[in-house]
């Protein structure tokens, strides 16, 4: 990426600046994270642009967006910084109680049951560590990890490219959720299920999902009367309608006290899903990130 001439005038801090602006997509927020002025960040970006011969970040009304070249550089720069941090960590071991790091976790609200125990553990052992939870689409999970937009992806992954490592957090099963006292709970048969009007959680607005594919394989179908972008909205709407919705069981149980929603066994075999924490293998040299993975794993046992 950098030749010998460039290295003679390069500054490792510029790579940190690149990483931070890429994550924040905003010069002001990047400056705040780096304890710099916005003008200092802008000046550093100017040096990077000259060094790499590319605009790197383009201004928009809401912040900045990376150029194609910046997206290409995200993974190699992330690898370089991970290796440097690993080297430094051998001289100065990661101490959770003293750390002031910020970790970004990519997931969806339906798989956020790891958060309460994780926050409790951080409050007890690492009160200076901050978390950012970023909404993640499964289709972009690997590119988000490669681009260092997130440190960890948490979701049910079924296939992983060789460059990633996974740690199992817990097993999740899916149930039919509906308002308390809903007629379906008294007769949760497949025939009755197909008669219901359904609510579907579809972040991209798709009118069908895995359940519809499984039904179609049996020559059956259902009516998806409403599709919404997230799980919490689905829970709220279930309390106010006659709709039913397939949701993660642990997620429903976590919010049971807030929503008058009951569950019934899904009359289809979706199987259990293993919720995993996934990181690039190169990031396993980061002692702090390994600590976070250990906490995530122990909290879900």
Q: Spell out the per-residue pLDDT of the chain, length 301, in tens.
A: 444 444 555 678 888 999 999 989 999 999 998 888 989 999 999 999 988 899 999 999 889 999 999 999 888 888 788 777 666 655 557 889 999 888 999 999 999 999 999 999 999 999 999 999 999 988 889 988 887 789 999 999 988 999 999 999 999 999 999 999 999 999 999 999 999 999 999 988 888 889 999 999 999 999 999 999 999 999 999 999 999 999 999 999 999 888 999 999 999 988 888 999 999 998 888 888 999 999 998 866 5
Can you read off the two tokens belonging to residue 50?
């000259």
pLDDT at residue 1, rounded to an integer: 43
Can you read off the two tokens belonging to residue 20?
């931070």
Contact criterion met (CB below 8 Å) for 168 and 274: yes
pLDDT at residue 3, rounded to an integer: 45
3-state secondary structure at position 140: helix
**CA distance linking residue 261 with residue 253, whole number of Å:** 9
3-state secondary structure at position 132: strand
Of the CA atoms within 13 Å of residue 50, those in its CB half-sphere come to 9
Query: Taking CA 211 as the corner, what is the angle to CA 205 and CA 217, rounded to the nearest 5 degrees?
Result: 125
Contact criterion met (CB below 8 Å) for 174 and 248: yes
Query: 223: buried, middle or exposed (CB in 10 Å: 19+, 13-18, 0-12)?
Result: exposed
Strand spans (E) along the chain: 57-60, 63-66, 102-107, 130-135, 152-156, 164-172, 174-179, 197-201, 223-228, 245-248, 261-265, 273-280
pLDDT at residue 148, rounded to an integer: 79
Please choose, from the candidates 292, 295, 274, the residue with its C-alpha nearest in 3D space to the C-alpha of residue 283. Answer: 292
pLDDT at residue 89, rounded to an integer: 58
Name beta bridge partners: 265: 175
Can you read off the two tokens belonging to residue 206?
């798709």
Can you read off the two tokens belonging to residue 281?
């293998």
């Amino acid at each position: 990426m950098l030749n010998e001439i460039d290295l003679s005038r390069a500054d490792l801090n510029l790579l940190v600046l690149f990483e931070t602006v890429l994550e924040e997509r905003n010069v002001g927020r990047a400056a705040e994270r780096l304890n710099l002025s916005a003008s200092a960040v802008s000046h550093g970006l100017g040096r990077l642009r000259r060094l790499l011969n590319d605009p790197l970040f383009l201004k928009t009304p809401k912040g900045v967006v990376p150029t194609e070249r910046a997206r290409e550089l995200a993974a190699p720069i992330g690898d370089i910084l991970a290796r440097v941090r690993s080297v430094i960590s051998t001289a100065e071991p990661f101490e959770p109680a003293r750390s002031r790091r910020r970790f970004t976790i990519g997931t969806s609200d339906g798989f956020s049951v790891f958060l309460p125990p994780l926050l409790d553990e951080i409050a007890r052992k690492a009160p200076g560590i901050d978390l950012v939870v970023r909404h993640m689409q499964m289709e972009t999970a690997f590119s988000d990890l490669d681009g260092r937009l997130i440190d960890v992806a948490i979701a049910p992954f079924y296939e992983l490219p060789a460059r990633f490592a996974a740690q199992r957090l817990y097993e999740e099963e899916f149930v039919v959720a509906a308002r308390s006292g809903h007629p379906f709970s008294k007769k949760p048969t497949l025939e009755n299920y197909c008669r219901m009007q359904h609510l579907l959680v579809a972040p991209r607005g798709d009118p069908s999902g895995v359940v519809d594919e499984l039904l179609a394989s049996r020559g059956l179908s259902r009516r998806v009367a409403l599709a919404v972008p997230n799980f919490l909205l689905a829970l709220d709407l279930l309390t106010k309608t006659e709709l039913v919705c397939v949701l993660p069981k642990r997620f429903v149980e976590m919010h049971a006290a807030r929503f008058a929603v009951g569950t019934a066994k899904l009359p289809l075999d979706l199987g259990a899903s293993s919720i995993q924490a996934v990181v690039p293998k190169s990031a396993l040299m980061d002692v702090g990130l390994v600590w976070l993975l250990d906490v995530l794993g122990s909290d879900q046992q």
